[in-house]
Amino acid sequence: MAANSQVSASAKYTVESVNLGGLTLLKGRVKTHEVFGLSNSDLVPGKYEGGLKLWEGSLDLVKALQSEVKNGNLTFCEKRVLELGCGHGLPGIFACLQGAAAVHFQDFNAEVIRCLTIPNVNANLSEKEPSIANVTGSSGEVRFYAGDWSEIHELLPHVKGNKKDQSHSSGHSQVAGYDIILMAETVYSISTLQSLYELMKKCTSHPHGVVYMAAKKHYFGVGGGSRRFLSVVEKDGELVLEYVQNNCKGII
Ligand SMILES: C[S@@+](CC[C@H](N)C(=O)[O-])C[C@H]1O[C@@H](n2cnc3c(N)ncnc32)[C@H](O)[C@@H]1O
């Protein structure tokens, strides 16, 4: 299901700032019970997958991206970016602020996209600091998608072999796929590791596409984690792995 760009009025959205190594971003807050009728649950598999909470991995990821940009290892300028399992979407928002040509945000729940991701993107892009505004120009294309990782490739525009792939008509690149994929705290569940990895492979542009992910080594109680995910990646052998500040960068 693709989320349209309408913001939901059913849940109250409040905002506070978060300082990430000198960069101030805004993080919205929406009550889980107002959106899903759930009380303070982190997630309910198959119904609500935790997107309303801001997980610390996304803060770590933004900090790692900042230092990658500062060290000259990474640029978002003119790049097509996909954030998987976005929730608040702070890594994708950072990509917007850094001048990405397109940033596509994906979450399992359309409710999360409507009640949180879209207001959060709007808040950050309209309130950006002048110094950052100079870097970016907020003219990049921003789109939102909701759905399961096992199916969402059918909706995403820049997927290899997808009829919707606009690589040849966009003028940005003749290469299919996304230049940069971002994801934080997405590998907690053993049952979705394979579909997430298959999606990553379909979406990453070859040969220069990169995936930046931040995750815990192990998620107690659910069994997934970066160790299990990286063993899926290594077994398949198509990705080259590098570690960036305890986070992992996979390069196809
Ligand atoms: C733990 S939350 C992390 C949210 C955000 N990245 C952060 O760090 O704050 C996991 C995210 O992955 C998404 N997700 C989990 N399982 C999914 C699935 N099977 N298909 C699509 N998205 C999924 C959820 O919707 C949610 O946004």
- What does the H/E/C string look like for 209-231? CEEEEECCCCCCCCECCHHHHHH
- On whether residue 8 sits in a domain, the answer given is no
Kindly report the CATH number assigned to the domain that includes residue 62: 3.40.50.150
How many domains is the chain built from?
A: 1
Counting ligand 1 atoms within 8 A of each CB, the residue from 86, 145, 199 with the most, and so the one to mutate, is 86
Pocket of ligand 1 (CB under 6 A): 49-51, 54-55, 57-58, 85-88, 107-109, 148-149, 184-186, 192
Which of residues 131 and 223 earns the better pLDDT score?
223
pLDDT tens string 22-67: 999 999 999 999 999 887 677 888 999 999 999 999 999 999 999 9
Confidence of residue 11 (pLDDT cuts 50, 70, 90): confident
Residue 116 pairs with which residues in a beta bridge? none
- On whether residue 173 sits in a domain, the answer given is yes
Overall average pLDDT of the 212-229 stretch? 94
- For residues 96 and 65, the answer to whether their CB atoms sit within 8 Å is no
- On whether residue 120 sits in a domain, the answer given is yes
- On whether residue 166 sits in a domain, the answer given is yes
Mean pLDDT of the chain: 87
Domain extent at residue 21: 14-251
Counting ligand 1 atoms within 8 A of each CB, the residue from 88, 108, 145, 222 with the most, and so the one to mutate, is 108
- On whether residue 97 sits in a domain, the answer given is yes
- On whether residue 80 sits in a domain, the answer given is yes
- On whether residue 9 sits in a domain, the answer given is no
Q: Give the HSE-up count for residue 115: Cα atoms under 13 Å, Cβ half-sphere.
A: 20
Backbone φ, ψ for residue 203 (5° rounding): -95, -20
- On whether residue 3 sits in a domain, the answer given is no
pLDDT tens string 57-72: 999 999 999 999 999 9
Cβ-based neighbours of 17, under 8 Å, separated by 6 or more: 24, 25, 26, 27
Q: How far is the CA of 116 from the centre of ligand 1 (A)?
A: 13
